[in-house]
Amino acid sequence: MASDTIEKGDIVWLEYDAWTVNPNGTQTLFDTTHDEVAKKEGKFEEKKVYIETPVVVGKGRLFEGLDAAVIGAKIGERKEVVIPAEKGAGVRDPRLVELKTEREFLRQEIDPEVGMAVSISGKRGIVTAVSAGRVRVDFNNPLAGKTLKYIVTPVRKAKTQEERVRAVIEMDYGLGEQFKIHLEDGASEIQLPDVCKTDEKWFVSKFRVVADLRELTELKTIRFVEEYEKKETKPEAAPPPEAEAAKAAAEPATPAETKPRKKATATKPKPTRRAAKGEAAAPREKAPEEL
């Protein structure tokens, strides 16, 4: 039976509230898995899903101070940890603040504004100033130089191979529960949900998923499957002969119904054909007063 104590290399799901500790002693929420906390602090995002998140422990995927706090903890154990900048996002590096020309942004049809997140040459940064055709971009981690505080609870950990595979997909792409996973003899067959077939994010995430599955699982073969099914329209079934006979018996034909009825249409009726020249006209039925 797997231990409830978290060890290096485990994949665990965490619930947490994360704050920056300001110089004046106040705290600012920057991330949480609880929607009620986000609403209370005025940080709620409609499109965000607030739920426990899977993480890899002891592999450099978490801040050093958070990693140290989680390793050795037990499932369900609530911990509060304050992390200095050097064991969090690191200290700020002035060399990562760069000046760019406004023209570089305009060529990409971007109108730079202060606070805008941008990606330049594969580096992600925040615009901190725009003036005189120059744009200052800070490529430091937004949390660099800040003291962090986490209130964290490990709620469960992956105990089976399938749980680890699903957790990796959830970490690197999302929608982990929508993938169909079949494992056998060190090989995996992973059937993609329909959304992946046209999602550009999946095309990029796939390579990271493969790399993490190789590192974090014992799989030797990883196969992704896209399934397309042709949907055929079924022909309308004809009513059984018994039903037709019963209908005919219930509705005896009248003289006017001995010929097939014409279907109603939205077109105007055709004018009555006049008798051609030399052709005898059909005898007209006399009115009673003409007799």
What whole-number distance in Å separates Cα of residue 41 and Cα of residue 33? 13
250 — pLDDT class (breaks 50, 70, 90): low
Q: Over the chain, what is the mean pLDDT?
A: 86
Q: Quick one: pLDDT at residue 245?
A: 64
C-alpha pair distances (Å), 80 with each of 66, 83, 154:
10, 10, 12
Burial class (CB in 10 A: 0-12, 13-18, 19+), 56: buried
**43 or 279, greater pLDDT:** 43
What is the β-pairing status of strands 221-225 and 187-191? parallel
Is the separation of the CB atoms in 17 and 35 below 8 Å? no
- Span 22-65, pLDDT tens digits: 999 999 999 999 999 999 999 999 999 999 999 999 999 999 99
Q: Quick one: pLDDT at residue 258?
A: 43
What whole-number distance in Å separates Cα of residue 74 and Cα of residue 153? 9
- Beta-bridge partners for 189: 182, 223
Tokens 């077939």 -> residue:
197
3-state secondary structure at position 95: helix
